[in-house]
Chains A and B, each alone.
With several copies, the nearest count.
Chain A
Amino acid sequence: MSDLNLLYKQAILEHNRNPRNFGKPDAWTHHAEGLNAICGDLVEVYLTIKDGVLEAVHFDGESCAIATASASMMTEVTTGLSVAQWQARFAQFKQMMDKRSQDQTFAELGQVSTLVTVKKFPSRIKSATLCWYAVDAAIHGRPTATTE
């Protein structure tokens, strides 16, 4: 079952157990939900954007360990970024998680890079990417992101 341990690494299990920035904050400026119809993952993201900076990034919802850990890691890496910087990180993340790409990681993504092993489980890639698409939707004023 070494494959399974690659997916459910300690870092992921730990973030799943103790998700950072989890829970609906008292106030926010942008919000969206991310839906993964395949598995019933639901992630809600709440952003506070001031002067073009993501001052706070929170999430909640009911989702699997991969989606929860990914969201938790994402909030840590993206809080404090400018929207432009966020877009750059999102682009790197998408590239990293692209099924067709090499297993390339990016230093800027920090612990998020550990998610690269999820690519071994194609049906779970969408769990990992859900929260990022939800933030993108929130920034663009769309209420819902669905993983294709």
Chain B
Amino acid sequence: MLRDQFPGLNNQVHGKPLVYLDNAATAQRPLAVLDAVNGYYLHHNANIHRGVHAMSESATELYEQARGSLARLINAPSPKDLIFVRGCTEGVNLVAQTFVRSRLKAGDEILISHLEHHSNIVPWQILCEQTGAVLKVIPMNEQGELVLDDLDRLLNARTKFMSVVHISNSLGTINPVKKLIKAAHDQGVPILVDGAQAAPHIKVDVQDLDCDFYTVSGHKMYGPTGSGVLYGKAEHLNAMPPYQGGGEMISKVTFESTVYNAVPAKFEAGTPNIAGGIGLGAAAEFMLSVGLERIEQRDHELRIYTEQALQQVDGLRIIGTAAQKSPVFSFVIDGVHAHDIGTIIDHYGVAVRTGHHCTMPIFQFFGLAGSCRASLAFYNTEQEVDVLVESLLKAKAMFA
């Protein structure tokens, strides 16, 4: 069974079987990923790129194969279009500082959406502070869907860049990114898509989307922590200055001047997270072998089941009811604060997240300080959803 591939799911918490519903924060990893990480440390433990000895060669090969696996997963034209990063946060910061910064003057605009994770807000705020540019926001409605009526006005001659989340980590909303990308391009505006929550759940095809940049976090797509990938169109990557300076990203250094290496090395200064990259490649291969259709199908089943199951809890209100939605459920319960719910159901083995989920503006919109969030992955089961519901009923009873 697929679930057996994930040893982390076998844990007990407070003497109860773990019910892991915090997948949007970080996923569990399959054995294939752990084996790849350990395989590197045990049998190919060497630095990459710069070695002539056998282990350095095989480590380099594994690392570059991993890049290839990720390119296949998101259908990038070439593995060279992928830069290994620590995660989505670094991906966004890299694009902000190396691609966007030099294009901005005071008064220019950057367009994001109300559904963004802090990782796709703060780097732009920092950039605005550095350049005098202005941050604009596509609004959202009570369902947690973007309102595109004003898009024509928001995307204007001052707009120099756009960055939107593919799937909201807080509400599960699946944004119409293809449409947004087209709208941006119609105005000549390049666009980054934050795929942190999309890559683990749906088929991503960067060529079909035609986005300029796409970024994913390894730890959310069943890969190691500290791994991730930024895809960029080759024309952009070739033209961009480097992000960090250091070894591996240069081809010649003198104290007077330095010649940078070709893409993607130009953006991978220093020794990378080699084990992380190799593990992430294994995660991509794992997902391809499970099949994205199967993952999407299972997500759909779990979403429907959970939506109905949660209705058994009186006074529970789901925040985020978009028509297109991933199996992520943010909710509040009358009379019981999210934080208390989290603590109580943890005692029944149920792991959920509470708070603002790094999306404070979403909760400001709803007039809430935060929510309880149950986020599912394809390895979750209907039985686990039942345990969630039971534990919520117990939390309610405690506060009755």
> With contacts A40-B339, A146-B261 known, is A4 near B252, CB below 8 A?
no
> When the two chains form their complex, are residues A4 and B344 in contact, meaning their CB atoms are under 8 A apart?
yes
What residue in chain A is nearest B248 (Cβ atoms)? A37
Sampled A-B contacts (15; CB under 8 Å): A7-B343, A8-B340, A8-B398, A35-B252, A38-B51, A39-B342, A39-B355, A40-B339, A40-B370, A64-B338, A68-B337, A122-B57, A122-B61, A123-B57, A127-B339
> When the two chains form their complex, are residues B370 and A39 in contact, meaning their CB atoms are under 8 A apart?
yes
Q: How far is the CA of A117 from the CA of B166 in the complex (A)?
A: 43
Query: Is the CB of B106 closer than 8 A to any CB of chain A?
Result: no
Chain B residues contacting A38 (CB-CB under 8 Å) are 49-52, 355
**Contact-residue bracket for chain A:** 20 to 34
Interface flags for A120-134 (1: CB within 8 Å of B; 0: not) read 011110010000000
Query: Is the CB of A60 closer than 8 A to any CB of chain B?
Result: no
What residue in chain A is nearest B363 (Cβ atoms)? A40
> With contacts A63-B337, A64-B339, A144-B259 known, is A37 near B61, CB below 8 A?
no
Q: How far is the CA of A124 from the CA of B53 in the complex (A)?
A: 11
> When the two chains form their complex, are residues B337 and A64 in contact, meaning their CB atoms are under 8 A apart?
yes
- Interface residues of chain A: helix, strand, loop or mixed (majority): mixed
Chain A residues contacting B52 (CB-CB under 8 Å) are 38-39, 123-124
What residue in chain B is nearest A5 (Cβ atoms)? B398
Chain A residues contacting B344 (CB-CB under 8 Å) are 4, 8
What residue in chain A is nearest B357 (Cβ atoms)? A40
> When the two chains form their complex, are residues A64 and B340 in contact, meaning their CB atoms are under 8 A apart?
yes
Hey, which bits of chain A sit against chain B, CB under 8 A?
1, 3-4, 7-8, 13, 16, 35, 37-42, 61-68, 121-124, 127, 144, 146, 148
Candidates A37, A42, A63, A121; contact of B343 at CB < 8 Å: A121
> With contacts A3-B347, A62-B368, A122-B61 known, is A37 near B340, CB below 8 A?
no
Q: How far is the CA of A144 from the CA of B262 in the complex (A)?
A: 12
> When the two chains form their complex, are residues B337 and A65 in contact, meaning their CB atoms are under 8 A apart?
yes
Query: Is the CB of B251 closer than 8 A to any CB of chain A?
Result: yes
Candidates A3, A16, A35; contact of B251 at CB < 8 Å: A35
> With contacts A4-B347, A124-B343, A144-B259 known, is A41 near B369, CB below 8 A?
yes
Whole-angstrom distance between the Cβ of A2 and the nearest chain B Cβ? 10
